[in-house]
Structure 1
């Protein structure tokens, strides 16, 4: 048992602290997970691949393909950023960088963007899974983006349910675990970690509810392009 943990704390909280303290592996797993999606989904579709689509993308200008490629590059970069949560350069700027080499990296510089991305990813995946289940059960209708031709919504919903949305959800969990590990590695106090985890959880639930409502009631353009 960690001697730094108050024995009066709830067992669930102590287990969470111990687990996240040893969750450096999540950053490596998240990096690989991001690379897989970038290469086998974004870059594949940017090259004209149609597996996972019930109809080919209709893109006479090439803009959608270029956007898919750019998104893939961004996802790859985000995956590499996760490594900063477990590598020395996430705590101090490498010495070989002119002028600022050796400077301490503010922990919020990596921590807050990672947490925000984690909220988005988990909420995106959870809302996507929930709404696809509701659609396949015949409880709601779904609309697809206008850049596709004749589509089979059921096939697209199944791909979303079992491939695309789970990727978002798992990526968000890995990213969140990486952030919690980094917070402990950067000496964030346990009370602050507890408050941050609670705020993160509540905010994720709120954003998930907003995304779900947006899809069900179609009051904003949905995020299914990603």
Structure 2
């Protein structure tokens, strides 16, 4: 049983959330986007996107490659933002500048994972159970994409969104020093 006071555990929770978010961002999404930007093709055909967007992704058009590089840049910014919540150099940034985007990103990712934004657990189950009409020519592709999304992408975005929320929640309130 942990007998340390709650105030001593708070810094470790902050660090855990921030570092986990940073690692999840860089190691998962960042690595994949960098791999795609450099011409890799693994998992591209299983990306849960509309047919035209998936075809562009598979064709590696200049626009999609540029999008991957933009994503890589955003991943770096996101990883640095997560670290800024626990590192001394991050104290120069206003707390709200860090936490408001983190809450928004976390909510969007959880919404995406659940299916509020079209893909996600709800949409995948609806496709797999036949609750959503899919044309006969697209049925096999839709079912395949739904299975991959249900087992890979939706859980990934759910955990990532929860990590962003945990990081935002654990970011300390910065009080100005008290003057004597």
- Higher normalized helix content (fraction of residues): 2
Give the Å deviation of 1:176: 0.7
1:177 counterpart residue number: 166
Unmatched 5+ stretches in structure 1: 6-17, 94-104, 144-150, 189-226
User: Cα–Cα, structure 1 residues 77 and 4, in superposed 2: closer, same or farther, change >3 Å?
Assistant: closer
- Provide the aligned length of Structure 1 versus Structure 2: 155
SS in 2 for 1:152: helix
User: Cα–Cα, structure 1 residues 113 and 4, in superposed 2: closer, same or farther, change >3 Å?
Assistant: same
1:72 counterpart residue number: 72
Give the Å deviation of 1:20: 9.2
2:173 counterpart residue number: 186
Give the Å deviation of 1:39: 3.9
Is 1:50–2:41 an aligned residue pair? yes
Q: Distance in 2 between matches of 1:169 and 1:20?
A: 24
Q: Distance in 2 between matches of 1:113 and 1:106?
A: 12
Give the Å deviation of 1:138: 1.5
Give the Å deviation of 1:116: 1.3
CA RMSD across the alignment: 3.1
Is 1:167–2:156 an aligned residue pair? yes
User: Cα–Cα, structure 1 residues 122 and 142, in superposed 2: closer, same or farther, change >3 Å?
Assistant: farther
SS in 2 for 1:24: helix
SS in 1 for 2:154: helix
Q: Distance in 2 between matches of 1:158 and 1:174?
A: 24
Is contact 1:35–1:79 with CA below 8 Å preserved after alignment? yes
Give the Å deviation of 1:27: 0.9
User: Cα–Cα, structure 1 residues 28 and 21, in superposed 2: closer, same or farther, change >3 Å?
Assistant: closer
2:102 counterpart residue number: 114
Q: Deviations over 1:12-38 (max 9, x none)?
A: xxxxxx779824201101111111233
Q: Distance in 1 between matches of 2:13 and 2:149?
A: 32
Q: Distance in 1 between matches of 2:6 and 2:147?
A: 47
Unmatched 5+ stretches in structure 2: 47-53, 176-180
Is contact 2:18–2:167 with CA below 8 Å preserved after alignment? yes
Is contact 1:30–1:174 with CA below 8 Å preserved after alignment? yes
Give the Å deviation of 1:154: 2.1
